[in-house]
Amino acid sequence: MNKKKYFKSINKELFKGFNRLYWFLYTEFKYYYFKYKFKDRNESKQYKISLLLPSRERSKKFKRMLDSLISTCSNISRIELLILLDTDDKEKILYESILSNKKYSNLNHKIYLNNLSSHAKRNNFLAMKSVGDILFPINDDITFISKHWDKEIDNEFSKVVNQPYCLWVDSGQKYLYLHSDFPIVNKEWYKKLGYIGSEFFNFWYLDTWICDLCHRSKKFLISKKIKLYQYSAHTIKEEVDNTHLKNIKDDIPLKDKIIWNETVGQRIKDARLLV
C-alpha cells in the first residue's frame, strides 16, 4: 500500500471513529436530558399504534410474531395491525385462519390485497390506510421481546408532542446510535413527508432512509427499553425462504445501493421538512 492510500485509509477510520463517538455522546446526552426534563411530569399519553406489515407466504413466521406481540403488549386493544398480501399469495387463507383464533380477538386487524412493486410502496399503502397516532413498520420475521413495549412508546412520544419525531428501538444492531432496523415515527413525521419509505428503491433501504433523515434532522430518540429480535435470513440459514430469495435476486441489493448513493440530495431536502 502506497503512502497516499495509507493516509486515505487512516483518515477514513478516524472519521468513522469520530462519527461513532459523536452520535454515541449525542444520543446518550439527549436521552438523559429528556429523562431529567420529564421526570417530575405525569404527562404520558396513550397513543393508537398502527403496525404496518407487508408479508408474503410467511404465515408460520407471522404466527410466531403475532404470539410474541400479544404476550408482551400491555393493551392490545389500542393496537392496529395492518397486513398487506399480494393478490396471488398462496397462504392467504392461512393468515386469515390464524387471525380467526379467539386469542387474537382483541387485536384490531385488517388484511389488504394489492400487488405493489416495492417494500416502501407497500408500507406507504398501509400508512395511508392507518388511523394510528404512531406508525410502526414491522417485519413478519421479528418477535417482540420487551414487556409493555407499547407503554414505552407512549412514554417516549409523549416527550415530543406536536412535532415530527422518530423512535429507534433495539433489535440487536451493533451500534444502536447509528442505525435502527425498525424505526417508529409519529403521524406528524408522516404528514411532513407524505410517506413512510422512499419509493426510489427496488426493495431495500426503508429503515436506512428513515435513519438518515433522523441523523440529518436530529428528530429522533433512542429507547433501549424496547427490544425486538429478528430471525434474519441473512444470518440464519433456516430462515431462508422463497420470499427472501425473491428479494435478493437480480442483484437487487446492489442496484439499491447505487440508488442510495444517487439520492443524497433528496434526503437533505426531506430532512429539512422535519426541522
Q: 30 in a domain, yes or no?
A: no
| Rounded distance between C-alpha atoms, residue 38 and residue 57, angstroms | 44
The low-confidence residues of the chain, meaning pLDDT below 70, are 1-10, 40-43
Q: How far apart are the first and last CA of the chain?
A: 44
The residue type of 171 is: S
Provide the residue range defining the domain that includes 235: 47-274
Q: 213 in a domain, yes or no?
A: yes
| pLDDT tens digits, one per residue of 238-273 | 989 888 888 888 778 899 999 999 999 999 999 999
Q: 39 in a domain, yes or no?
A: no
Q: 7 in a domain, yes or no?
A: no
In whole numbers, what is the pLDDT of the chain averaged over residues? 92
pLDDT value of position 249: 83
Q: 263 in a domain, yes or no?
A: yes
Q: 5 in a domain, yes or no?
A: no
Q: Residue ranges of the alpha helices (H) in 112-249?
A: 119-129, 149-157, 187-193, 206-217, 242-248
pLDDT value of position 6: 61
Three cell numbers at 8? 486515505
Contact 164, 109 (CB under 8 A): no
Total domain count for the chain?
Answer: 1
C-alpha distances in angstroms, 68 versus 72, 140, 155, 166, 229? Answer: 6, 11, 21, 23, 10
pLDDT value of position 243: 86
Buried b / exposed e across 202-237, counting CB within 10 Å, b at 16+?
bbbbbbbbbbbbbbbbebbbbbebbbbebbbbeeee
Q: 38 in a domain, yes or no?
A: no
| Rounded distance between C-alpha atoms, residue 265 and residue 274, angstroms | 15
| Rounded distance between C-alpha atoms, residue 127 and residue 174, angstroms | 29
pLDDT value of position 42: 62
Q: 3 in a domain, yes or no?
A: no
pLDDT value of position 251: 79
Three cell numbers at 123? 408500507
| Rounded distance between C-alpha atoms, residue 116 and residue 125, angstroms | 9
- Backbone phi and psi for residue 31, each to the nearest 5 degrees, phi listed first: -60, -50
Strand order in the sheet with 220-230: 108-113, 79-85, 49-54, 134-137, 184-186, 166-170, 220-230, 142-144
Q: What is the CATH number of the domain that holds 125?
A: 3.90.550.10
